Amino acid sequence: MEWQPDWGLRLRMAFTMFLLFGLYVAFVGVLTLYFDNLLIPVVLLGSFSLVQYFFSDRLALRSMGARRVEPSEYPDLHDRVSRLAQQADLPKPGVAVADSKTPNAFATGRSPDNAVVCVTTGLLEALDDAELEGVLAHELAHVKNRDVAVMTIASFLSTIAFIIVRWGWLFGGRDRNQAPVLVAILVSLVVWVVSFLLIRALSRYREFAADRGAATITGRPSALASALVTISGRMDRVPEEDLREQAEMNAFFIIPISKGFIGRLARTHPPTEKRIERLRELEREMETR
């Protein structure tokens, strides 16, 4: 199966990025009107974002308690990643394993040349060979689509808006007790809330794109669909402590942890049922060709 773009999905992602761009242009315009010394916080946050961008692989692995593994430790896993990367026309990424009962996986790294694919021990125990390859292909599709870089760039000004909401009075200089600063903080709040929702919509669209990419790499959409069914069934049996420790990594996971109200509000992935439905539709399309 050739790597063919889903133009409907691409148009939705482009429209979401356009809305974010328009929102951020208005946001910057308001900030320049109301803040005297905005340069310092922007430079500081920009530096933080650059560090996050260039060291995203190390930060993500450390936050998960994962470590890179050698081919001698996990020869089968390395062989599968190597073969799938070749099928996806990608350099072989690093391979990492996290000792966790939660069956999940994520990809990180700003570009294909320094990407890392990480799986949990729970995932390796839960899936059969075909399902595991479906999940690995999904993560490689994220790498090919440069999703870590896209989401980091998309969220930069949203992060600034959030910081201003919390600490805006510190950036107001001599006007810190006057109405203009309060207006700027309120505008920042609106920008943060709207961009929060848009960025998560963009993340959900990119998950659909990665699912389609996985089907292209393996030629078996049903394998990933089966893996999603297996993983979602096992997630309910993972201890609550394990879920809480890993909640911050939701945006990277093959299936996010969505316990409680906050988890549903901040959903970065589409519903698993909808993903499975689309994969099965893709399977039927491939069978009729």
- What does the DSSP assignment read for 210-246? HHHHHHHHHS-HHHHHHHHHHHHHHHTTS-HHHHHHH
Burial of 265 (0-12, 13-18, 19+ CB in 10 A): exposed
Among the ranges given (7-11, 70-74, 188-192), the one the predictor scored with the smallest mean pLDDT: 7-11
If residue 97 lies in a helix (H) or strand (E), which one and from where to where? strand 94-98
Q: Which of 4-18, 111-125, 255-269 has the highest mean pLDDT?
A: 111-125
Single out the catalytic residue among 73, 125, 133, 139. Answer: 139
Distance CA 163, CA 63 (A): 22
**What residue numbers bound the domain in which 86 lies?**
7-287
Indicate whether 2 belongs to any domain: no
Q: How many domains are there within the chain?
A: 1
pLDDT band at 249 (very low <50, low <70, confident <90, very high): very low
Report yes or no on 170 lying in a domain: yes
- For the chain, how far is it from start to end, CA to CA, in angstroms? 10
pLDDT digits (tens, 9 = 90+) for 117-130: 999 999 999 999 99
Contact 197, 259 (CB under 8 A): no
Give domain status of residue 259, yes or no: yes
Task: Please check whether residue 168 lies inside any domain of the structure.
Answer: yes
Q: Mean pLDDT throughout 228-242?
A: 62
pLDDT at 28: 76
Average model confidence (pLDDT) for the chain? 79
> Has residue 193 got a pLDDT over 90?
no
Closest CA to 267 of 222, 173, 211, 202: 202
Residue 67 has pLDDT above 60, yes or no: yes
User: What integer pLDDT is reported at residue 182 of this predicted model?
Assistant: 77
Q: Residue 106 forms beta bridges with which residues? A: 118
92, part of any domain: yes
Of 99-103, 144-148, 249-253, the one with minimum mean pLDDT is: 249-253
Q: What is the mean pLDDT of residues 210-214?
A: 93
Q: pLDDT at residue 288 above 50?
A: yes
- 158 in a structural domain: yes
pLDDT at 58 > cutoff 50: yes
139 is known as an active-site residue: yes
**Domain assignment present for 216:** yes
**In the 3-class helix/strand/coil scheme, how is 151-215 assigned residue by residue?**
HHHHCHHHHHHHHHHHHHHHHCHHHCCCHHHHHHHHHHHHHHHHHHHHHHHHHHHHHHHHHHHHH
Would you say residue 191 has pLDDT above 50?
A: yes
Q: How confident is the model at residue 3 (pLDDT cuts 50, 70, 90)?
A: low
Residue 1 lies in a domain: no
